[in-house]
Amino acid sequence: MARNVLLISFISFSFIIGCYAEDNLLVSLQDGLVRGQYKESYNGRKFMAFEGIPYAKPPIGDLRFEDPQPVQPWIGVFEAKYLYTCVQISMLPVGPQTDLGDEDCLYLNVYVPREKINPDENLDVILHIHGGAFMIGSPKMLALPNKIMDRDVVYVSINYRLGPFGFYSPGDGHGNYGLKDQTAALKWVQNNIKKFGGNKDSVTITGVSAGGGSTHLHYFTKLSKGLFHRGYAQSGLFHRGYAQSGVALNPWAIRKHPEKQGKILAEQVGCFDEAAEEVRRCLKQRPAKQILDAVKVLYAAPLLPLVPFGPIIEKDSPTAFMAKTPYQQLISNEVTDLPFMMSMTSDEGTTPAALTYNFIDAMNSNWTKWAPLLLEFYEYENYNLDEVSEKIKEEYFKGSLLTKDNYKTLVKACTHRIFHLGAEATSRLQTKSTKSDLYFLVMDYSGPFMPINMTGFDVDFGNGHGSDGKYYYSGDFDIPLDQDGVRMKDILLDMMVAFAKTGKPKIDAVQFTPVPKNGHLNYLYVKGPDDIEMRNEDIFGPRKFWTSLGLQES
């Protein structure tokens, strides 16, 4: 009898504890109730995960190629326990070789470093925009919370429409649906993040690669003003931004002639009408799989060109994301004046160059075809692209053929053209256009060798594109960190969190000073956990040579 009473008491206690845990995981939002689950951080901390919360209506049917619409409230409890992926092609040499995701994908994920939410805690918020050339990627693939949940911030990761679904335009001055999705997610944060203990007045956007470019682009749109507060490349809707491995002045960040790619796509699926609205209506009726198959026709090689569908300059209207290029806005002082931090790795060109590693013979026999695609100047009209290609070849290869032995020279050319020179221009122009501080970090520490994970080649091309992302976020391409890697992770996470809290990144080893308004382009140089210093020498490539080619910034 005593044993039965003890058993009943234990079951009752377990039931009460279970109900208490369930109550802790239940959050009442503007649109309805959501229930999350507990997960464990990198260092073993128990945290709350709310994955797959809808922030806009599903962009399907008549809502395909349209601005995001407010989500419909729901009845009952929404089980927020699923990570969504937006529909996309599979183009990487590694990973799933089938098309991924769903069109119904406008969901976000919220992570709270607590076992119980205190709505009045006012934790700083970091909202992350994943990378993937605006064509591929997801939070599950590239931005899991395991590492950042060892810090006291609310972390939000988002899906946004990719490829043609997010960036198709027939040339009528309308598009940027993927960027507008990001803005809709920022608005959702403003309306709901307090329910998770977050501070809506301290929102920092972060992003890697195209996510970094996206972060920076939010400084150039009136739609996001007042929506974030600092940017680590990454106002309102945000307050700071941190952009890693991508900024708005990189040549891939803005598509110059979206109507050309749009026309090819439409004709591939049988939409031939001359009127833009009729073509859009026709495309809305095509299966997503048919559109994805049509996109593959645009590639000369896996992921080349890097961004066949991406951000565009729209016709000026109240709903336009941007009607002027970032470069035009910078020189006319129209950029949002908020703290901004950006980082670049020392060998950013690793990933794009590695994608052509199997095409060396083809590149040597037809350099003038491949160079514009790889080095992102194929859209430039009124230029002699063959002549530009030959000048680049002479500058970097001095008349030699491309070989596996000198392939790092191609990595260097890609690094300069596709990433570093745009970052340098951003530093010089944005510091003159704003009063807020701008911080610049150069990462020359890669830790465990990574490129094989992304490119499929067991070749060390250098400290590659976005490779510092692995110290902040987890995902499908994770590599176990060694002892120095763990120390590097902690240094960088502490730096980013300090920036998210105060707008000033903090490194114990050295004072991280902002880029001065006039004078040297100083930056934080990170060679390893014990080798961090401020520098100001020029490592950003032959600026005069690239300027002489006349290829304008975005």
Tens digit of each residue's pLDDT (9 = 90 or more) over 384-425: 999 999 999 999 999 899 998 898 999 999 999 999 999 999
Q: How far apart are CA 455 and CA 298, in angstroms?
A: 20
Whole-structure pTM value: 0.93
Question: What is the per-residue pLDDT for 11?
Answer: 41
- In the chain, the percentage of residues whose pLDDT exceeds 90 is 75
Partnered with residue 204 across adjacent β-strands are 126
Instruction: Give 326-369 pLDDT, tens digit per residue.
Output: 999 999 999 999 999 999 999 999 888 888 888 899 999 999 99
Is residue 234 very low, low, confident or very high in pLDDT (cuts 50, 70, 90)?
A: very low
Is residue 457 very low, low, confident or very high in pLDDT (cuts 50, 70, 90)?
A: low
Instruction: Give 13-49 pLDDT, tens digit per residue.
Output: 444 444 445 689 999 999 999 999 999 999 999 999 9
Say whether 266 sits in a helix, a strand or coil. Answer: helix
Partnered with residue 205 across adjacent β-strands are 127, 241
Cα dihedral 32/29/50/101 (nearest 10)? 60
Q: Is 424 a catalytic residue?
A: no
Question: What is the per-residue pLDDT for 398?
Answer: 94
Q: Is 348 a catalytic residue?
A: yes
Instruction: Give 76-124 pLDDT, tens digit per residue.
Output: 999 999 999 999 987 665 555 456 899 999 999 999 999 999 999 999 9
Strand order in the sheet with 77-79: 26-29, 32-35, 77-79
User: SS3 string of 297-350?
Assistant: HHCCECCECCCCCCCCCCCCCCCCCCCCCHHHHHHCCCCCCCCEEEEEECCCCH
From the list 389, 436, 465, 467, the catalytic residue is 465
Q: Which residue has the tokens 């301290």?
A: 202
Question: What is the per-residue pLDDT for 456?
Answer: 58
- Mean pLDDT of all residues belonging to the chain: 90
The residue type at 286: R
From the list 51, 103, 348, 376, the catalytic residue is 348
Instruction: Give 501-521 pLDDT, tens digit per residue.
Output: 999 999 998 999 999 987 678
Is 127 exposed, middle or buried, given 0-12, 13-18 or 19+ CB atoms closer than 10 A?
buried
Question: What is the per-residue pLDDT for 336?
Answer: 95
What is the rounded average pLDDT of the residues 247-258? Answer: 95
Q: For 339-385, where are the E strands, in sequence order?
A: 340-345
Say whether 443 sits in a helix, a strand or coil. Answer: strand
DSSP strand pairing (438-443 vs 198-208): unpaired
Q: Is 465 a catalytic residue?
A: yes
From the list 157, 169, 202, 209, the catalytic residue is 209
Q: Can you read off the two tokens belonging to residue 335?
A: 């950029």
